[in-house]
Amino acid sequence: MNQHPFIFSNAPHQRVKRHVAFWLFWAVFQGFLYAFISLSPSMDYLHRLPQTMLDSLLFLPIHIFLSYALMYFVIPVYVVRNKYLSAALWTFAFILATALLSSFLSIYVVLPVREAVLPQGLQMQVHTSPAERGSFHLAFLAGLRGGITVGGLAAAIKLMKHWYVEGQRNLQLQKVAVESQLQLLKAQVHPHFLFNTLNNIFSFTQNTSPAASRMVMGLSDILRYMLYECNQPLVPLEKELKMIDDYIGLETIRYGNRLDLHVDFPGEANGFSIAPLLLLPFVENCFKHGISNMLEQPWLNLQVSITGNLLAVQLVNSKAVSGEPANHPGLGIENVRRRLQLLYPGKHELSITSEDEVFIVNLKLELERMKGVAVAAPPPAMAILEN
């Protein structure tokens, strides 16, 4: 889609150019088309053309009204949400309103403007009575025909573009999923070997080094979550937050009292689901590119809250003055940006600010309610892992 910005880009200047081009084409096309209709056999095509062009421009606002009502109200609100009966009723109502407006415009605006602007020699003399020329019935039928034509064309273009964009988005999601699976396969270690090894290390360090034992336990919990639960498209939010808390716990052991840490999680996160491993790269980035480069007084503040179905995450951490350059948060953050665009289009806001001594992440995300997410059961406890 990036190869055809004029068609698919949502940038304001591209949208303006696209819409202006469409309506210029429609006005000229309609003017040339109706000039072929022999309303006045005594006049040739070139003499009929000025009047049909003028009529096309005068009827253009009515056609714009109908087209935009269908494209930006009926289709996004009803059609794409499979509310077809409501969509049909609204479409009928808008077409009827367009025909009525066209008939009034034809009688009270088009005819007077035509007589005032065009010379007498360029006005088509239709072989009908004056009453027929000002007939509301005939004007209504003409407006109905023109409205259905342009409204159908605009709606068809909008639907085809919507379906194409959705198809491309689904292809991108499939591509990302395949790439993630390939990366996982490349780095995958059989869980039987992995957990047996961790179990042995845990048993060995339990008496000799309690701190190392706690780190092994925390690492085991994180790996168990990644291996057994993150193969689902959505995971319970409370488990995602628990995994982040375990990761921060590991880093806390590493930094000890040097780290000034403030973490605030919502008291109740049950009932919501989220894409797995969506928040971890932000926390990991704080330690990797910020706190790890500071010799003195590193700090981190993480605030997570839920209002309705809106998740708000604010992550602020210190970083060394000579640390990472601005606007260079790392590959993991760029991957998260891409996942957010694919998984939550129009349902998230992400802002990242990198200043001299502080790194700020603000994320707002519309959560989904749990719908019986099935998650493979992990091994029950560290002491009995993969015997």
**pLDDT average, residue stretch 78-96:** 90
Q: Which domain holds residue 214?
A: 189-384
Please state, in angstroms and rounded to a whole number, the distance separating the CA atoms of residues 66 and 112.
24
- Domain shared by 262 and 371, yes or no: yes
CB-based contacts of 152, cutoff 8 Å, min separation 6: none
pLDDT tens for each residue of 136-195: 666 777 777 777 888 888 888 888 888 888 888 888 777 777 776 666 555 554 555 566
* Winning range, highest mean pLDDT, from 92-101, 145-154, 377-386: 92-101
Q: Are residues 118 and 235 in the same domain?
A: no
Query: Which of the two residues, 69 and 8, has the higher pLDDT score?
Result: 69
- Say whether both 136 and 206 belong to one domain: no
Rounded CA separation 326/319 (Å):
11
Q: Model confidence over 114-128: pLDDT tens digits? A: 777 766 655 554 434
pLDDT for res 349 = 93
Q: Tokens 């092994």 belong to which residue?
A: 216
pLDDT at 368 over 60: yes
Domain boundary among 179, 212, 245: 179
pTM: 0.49
Cα distance between residue 195 and residue 268, in whole Å = 31
Higher pLDDT, 329 or 305: 305
Mean pLDDT estimate for the chain: 76
Do 172 and 218 fall into the same domain?
Answer: no
Which run of H or of E encompasses 251? helix 237-255
**What Å distances lie between residue 279 and 66, 79, 341, CA to CA?**
44, 34, 14
184 in any annotated domain = no
**Tens digit of each residue's pLDDT (9 = 90 or more) over 212-253:** 777 777 787 787 787 777 777 888 898 889 888 888 888 877
Q: Are residues 238 and 318 in the same domain?
A: yes
Give the model's confidence band at 73: pLDDT under 50 very low, under 70 low, under 90 confident, else very high.
very high
Distance, CA of 210 to chain centre: 47
Mean pLDDT of 15-24: 87
Q: How many domains does the chain have?
A: 2
